Every structure is written in structure tokens, then in C-alpha cells.
Structure 1
């Protein structure tokens, strides 16, 4: 498949998880959206679109692989001289992935259901490093 593969970009900002879907009392589905989720998805969308640079999204049916490294907030009280601890607190990595997949729909691929393999890592930012998500997407070989 021709195109810009692999697509790699960094979306700066605080990674926000996408919550689960719920039913309201009338039976309609809605997202349990966290604060700032729309802003985060728009940021990822904008950087994905810039990375694709006028290339079309992968057509439906093409299996895709998505690798994401989430760089999470570094607390101010963490010493700079000691090793950075792993990011083992909330949010859950799978909910962070859900927001990324939805944000790239229509830009990098036709639908996020095309992602057949996720490789995700969540870690605490090193001193001076920006929060965000380093994303690489490519067709499954």
C-alpha cells in the first residue's frame, strides 16, 4: 500500500482517557467524557492530520498497527536526581488508547476498528520533558 507509512508524530498535552459508554434513562448511549477530552482529541487529530499531509486515510479493511507512548505528568515533588518511577496510577492505558483511536478516525484510517494490534506504554515524564503521546501507525505487514 502506498502512502506516508509509517506515520509518526507527537501530540503535546495532557493525555486524557476516554470513558466507557453508558445508557441514559431513555435508552440512548452516551460517552462518559472526562474533563478536557474534546480538547485532547482535537489536538491528536490536528497533529495526525499534519503528519498525513494531504494523503488519504488508509481505506477500510486495511489492518493497522498503532504504537503509542504516553508521557504522563511529572509531579513537582519528584526528585530530579533519582530514577523516574513508572506511571502506575490512573488513568488506565486502554482508556487512553480509546481516545487516540477515535481521534485518528477519518484522518489516518477510515475507522479505528481497523487497528488489529496496539502497542502502548505509559510512563512518567523525565525532568523538563513535555507531556503528550508519541504515536506511530502503519499497515500490518
Structure 2
């Protein structure tokens, strides 16, 4: 955790949200006893790494599993996620890297 930003790396790859939820939930119970989910809009970036020789996972299924795991830990409901970026890359082995942070207000400049 860095301020309101969560950076998490899991050296495994699964689409089973129950496994992610219990793993992430247990991590937060042990390491961040005071962490509570927050309200407001969030952005989440997920990088899915897989080895060249392994079958690759569907990005939408992995993203859903990750969002389900973060619900109740980082934010109250995954409907709070207003920006989601999921990238699949080739790596040395299975890994999921997640960054979740409150969205900053975007200021749109009007034409002069």
C-alpha cells in the first residue's frame, strides 16, 4: 500500500475467484488489519503474465476473478471500478500484478 494505492503481485494464475478472494483476504487480514474498503470511483490495472509454453488465460475471466477478490477489501463493490486496463504478456511464469487506486478527477479543458 502506498497512500490509497494498492500494488499487489500474485505469483500464480487462476480464473477461480474463490481462490483469489481467500488468498487476498487472508493477506489483508494478516498484513493490513486496519484496511477497510472505501467508496468512490476506482481504476484498476491488471497485468497477466504467462509462460510461453503454457495455455493462456482469458483476460476477462482473470479480471473478473481479481475484481471479485478486491471487493470488500479495497472497494465495497466492483461497480465502483470506472477504469479497467487488462494486459496479457509473456513472462517467465504465471503472475498477476494488480494496481488499484481511487480515480483522480479529470479536468477537461474547454475550447478557447
Q: Report the TM-score when normalising by structure 2.
A: 0.75
Is it true that 1:43 corresponds to 2:23 in the alignment? yes
How many aligned residue pairs are there? 102
Write the distance in 1 (CA, Å) between the matches of 2:47 and 2:91. Answer: 11
Cα distance change on mapping 1:90 and 1:125 into 2, 3 Å: closer
Q: Please identify, of 110-119 and 67-76, the stretch whose mean Cα deviation from structure 2 is larger.
A: 67-76
Q: Secondary structure at the match of 1:133?
A: strand
More helix by share: 2
Find the counterpart in structure 1 of residue 101 from structure 2: 138
Q: Which consecutive residues of structure 2, in runs of 5 or more, have no partner in the other structure? A: 105-112
Find the counterpart in structure 1 of residue 50 from structure 2: 72
Find the counterpart in structure 1 of residue 108 from structure 2: none
Q: Which consecutive residues of structure 1, in runs of 5 or more, have no partner in the other structure? A: 18-35, 77-88
RMSD across aligned positions (CA): 2.6
Q: Secondary structure at the match of 2:85?
A: strand
Which structure is larger by alpha-carbon Rg, 1 or 2?
1
**Contact 1:4/1:55 (<8 A) preserved:** no
Cα distance change on mapping 1:122 and 1:4 into 2, 3 Å: same
Q: Report the TM-score when normalising by structure 1.
A: 0.61
1:77-121 per-position Cα deviation (integer Å, ceiling 9, x unaligned):
xxxxxxxxxxxx642211110000001110010011111110111
